[in-house]
Chain A
Amino acid sequence: MKRRILVAMSGGVDSSVAAALVHERGDEAVGVTMKLLARAETGFGCCGSPADVDDAKRVAEKLGIAHYVSDMAEIFASKVIRPYLDAYLGGTTPNPCVECNRSLKFGHLLGLAEAWGCAAVATGHYARVVNGRLHKSLEPGKDQSYFLYSLDAKALSRAEFPVGSLSKDAVRAKARELGLKTADKPESMETCFVPNRDVRGFVAAHAEADAPGIAGGPIRDRSGRELGRHNGLAAYTIGQRSGLGLSGPEPRYVVRIDAAANAVIVGGVDELQTKSITVGALTWNGERNGGTFQAQVRIRHRHTPAAASIELNGDRTATMHFMEPQRAPAPGQAAVVYSGDEVLGGGTILRSLGGDA
């Protein structure tokens, strides 16, 4: 039976092909582009900027499917941008894509889809749903399951990733074959709503003027010696080397952000190696209330999941001990737990416990 499927169309090639595949298999694809930013801020290439909306509309016209724009600027501001700012201001490294997927695409949009009589929400993510469980995409270099770990069972039962079993080349080839305008559109990089990758500029422009993360402060080594000055915590993330303005024979990396002291702590590359992390706000696919088990943990997008022993504390937190030390887990980023290709669950990194914890 023909089903109505809502396709979240960003105006990029992946979601364009997702819509095409839904349409091609005989279902009724309804394209929706989320307008995520207020009008004054859409001068750059972000989801829902006029150029991207136009691209999505052109693709929908070419396919002969319905297309709508939904203004979600308000909810995006409260559920994604505000926590993003707060994380940076508090000295952690946020993961806005995780929150956007949870609150927007598979939260608000999924609710709308139900109201509009749609059986599922399809996106252009490279991931798969197998028997109701989230799995990596078949193209390892493109896998986006990391950003989707927090979808619950209900969301997964209504989620479709039509390009999740394809390679990027195959997706582009399909788009070209169909003559879609977006076939050769460049990849969107970094955070979609931050223009020119200028995180500090964005945070400074959007945070309160007296927010602590904006104020300059010391860059110190572990011994407390001041090596230089930083221009606000918001610009820094664990493992970062460039942009510190330090001279010296040894390369220095950000190893810790001390929000209480408004200090950035740097150290040698060896100090980035981390044996254990604590993780909070955990969600699991299925019941897990305690105990210890072995799995693989990914601590950032494109990180190869590392073998770890996971000790659950029962209260949605866990301590994860890596078999081999891992480089630079950053508080605020997601730690996603895999068993092979399957995503078991994940949470937010609270602390890294150092090389010898």
Chain B
Amino acid sequence: MTAYLDHNATTPVRPEVVDAMLPWLREGYGNPNSVYALGQRARAAVERAREQVAAILGAADASEIVFTSCGSESDALAIAGGAWQAHDETKGKRRKVVTTKIEHDAIRVLNGQLRRRGLEVLEAGCGPDGIVNAAELKAMIDDATAVVSVMHANNETGVLQPVAEIAAAARAAGALVHTDAVQSLGKMKLDAKALGVDLLAVSGHKVNAPKGVGALWVRRGVRLAPLVTGHQEKNRRGGTENTASIVGFGLACELAGRELSSAASHALALRKKLEAGVLRVKGARLNGHPELRLPNTAHFSLDGIDGHHLVVALDLSGICVSSGPACSSGASTPSHVLTAMGVAPELATASIRVSVGWGSTDADADRFLAVLPQAVEKLRAAAKVAA
């Protein structure tokens, strides 16, 4: 039995989601764009899912939802699509993207590409608590700014970001505002309108739907230069709709929305238990703001170890946690998020992230806490021998 405590990496697909998807992989294979009834049924299923996703995001209308292949694509469509559109419409006057040093690699790598292609990209820092420095960021916004992008909650530390405050300033300057809310979906209430943003990215597999489906909420009236061209999704994203996964995503959002408050309090109780247990280990500390965090995420440093080696030790005991974003497994380089927070490199690499979610139990937490102290102790002993 695996104790899965890495829900920020991905989540198990709920059985009712699998069940809802299967008909669309079997008899419901029609192209949603086809004229005949087989296609019409598929289209109806996609549109139903669009309403379900719109509901959990607080959208004014389901037509504001654009389905994509993943959260990374949603981010790219928002930032690159938004920036190039504004750039072209203003004949190059708006050529600046303002974002932060703690964004997901989906955005950081994109930023490098935008820079190489001639846009100006500025990144604001964060405090030791992992909260983006809003004053610094707002000072970067001017009338040449095309897009401002600030993540809703950080994927590593879970720390919540001052999106609404920044959004107000950005919109006042006439810039588009995007937020990467991939980690927040299903873990806390999201209300795109109330946040005051123009664009908001989410992903299916972080909310117990399958991998390979995401969405971008696009405030009505906002224009984007499409990345994948074609007539689907009202010309905003080409490609035949991934009916089954979209259906699964829709249902997962509906379930998450319905269960939000109980799921959040369950996650918070488990997180507090995990934090109390881990902090009893000598040389352990919690990274990020103690309160302003997703209810399900805790990030720790345990001095004297390599976090990656601890992940291996725990895996060999059937426990899944991560030592950084899943995308960068293998290299023990300090995470850019912890570096931005000013955490020393040797402490940054000595860290693990524990994240709970749907299906997590007290028994999972107990198993993790039973194995952790000795695993850490042994790794510290090994590190001493090597030095």
Contact = CB atoms under 8 A, between A and B. Distances in A.
Interface in A74-101: 75
A39 B331 contact: yes
Interface stretch (A111-119, A246-254, A274-282): A111-119
A112 B309 contact: yes
B142 interface: no
A128 B383 CA distance: 28
B316 A4 contact: yes
B151 to A, nearest CB: 25
Interface in B335-367: none
A353 B33 CA distance: 87
A103 B306 CA distance: 18
A112 B308 contact: no
A116 B316 contact: yes
Contacts of A117: 313, 316
Nearest to B386: A108
Interface stretch (A63-71, A143-151, A190-198, A324-332): A63-71
B329 to A, nearest CB: 7
Contacts of A114: 378, 381-382
Nearest to A118: B316
Interface string B307-326: 01100110110000000000
Nearest to B383: A111
A336 interface: no
B118 interface: no
Contact of A30 (B306, B316, B333, B375): B316
B329 A69 contact: yes
B386 A68 contact: no
B309 A70 contact: yes
Contacts, number: 56
Nearest to A113: B382
A111 B312 contact: no
Interface residues of A, number: 20
Contacts of B333: 39, 71
A53 interface: yes
Nearest to A53: B330
A45 interface: no
A107 interface: yes
Contacts of A172: none
A4 B312 CA distance: 14
A240 to B, nearest CB: 35
Contacts of A135: none
B194 interface: no
B315 A66 contact: yes
A115 B373 CA distance: 12
Interface in B60-76: none
A35 interface: yes
Interface string B94-137: 00000000000000000000000000000000000000000000
B313 A115 contact: yes
A66 B316 CA distance: 9
B245 to A, nearest CB: 25
A254 B330 CA distance: 43
Contacts of A69: 329-331
B88 to A, nearest CB: 36
A275 to B, nearest CB: 40
Contact of B332 (A71, A108, A116): A71
A133 to B, nearest CB: 23
A4 B330 CA distance: 21
Nearest to B376: A115
Contacts of B139: none
Interface in B233-279: none
Contacts of A116: 309, 312-313, 316, 378
B330 A115 contact: no
Contacts of A103: 386
Nearest to A103: B386
A115 B381 contact: yes
B139 to A, nearest CB: 34
A116 B375 CA distance: 8
Contacts of A111: 381-383, 385-386
Interface in A1-53: 4, 30, 35, 39, 53
Contacts of A112: 309, 379, 382
Given A35-B330, A39-B331, A117-B316, A71 B378 contact: no
B308 A70 contact: yes
Contacts of A68: 312, 315
A112 B380 CA distance: 10
B376 to A, nearest CB: 9
B105 to A, nearest CB: 14
Contacts of B378: 114-116
Given A66-B316, A116-B313, A116-B316, A71 B331 contact: yes
Of the candidates B306, B308, B312, B381, the one having the most CB atoms from chain A within 10 angstroms of its own CB is B312
A195 to B, nearest CB: 20
Given A69-B329, A114-B378, A115-B381, A75 B386 contact: yes
Interface of A: 4, 30, 35, 39, 53, 66, 68-71, 75, 103, 107-108, 111-112, 114-117
Interface of B: 306, 308-309, 312-313, 315-316, 329-333, 375, 378-379, 381-383, 385-386
14 contacts: A4-B316, A39-B331, A53-B330, A66-B315, A66-B316, A69-B329, A71-B308, A75-B386, A108-B385, A111-B385, A114-B378, A115-B379, A115-B382, A116-B378
4 shortest A-B CB distances, which residue pairs? A111-B382, A71-B332, A69-B330, A115-B378
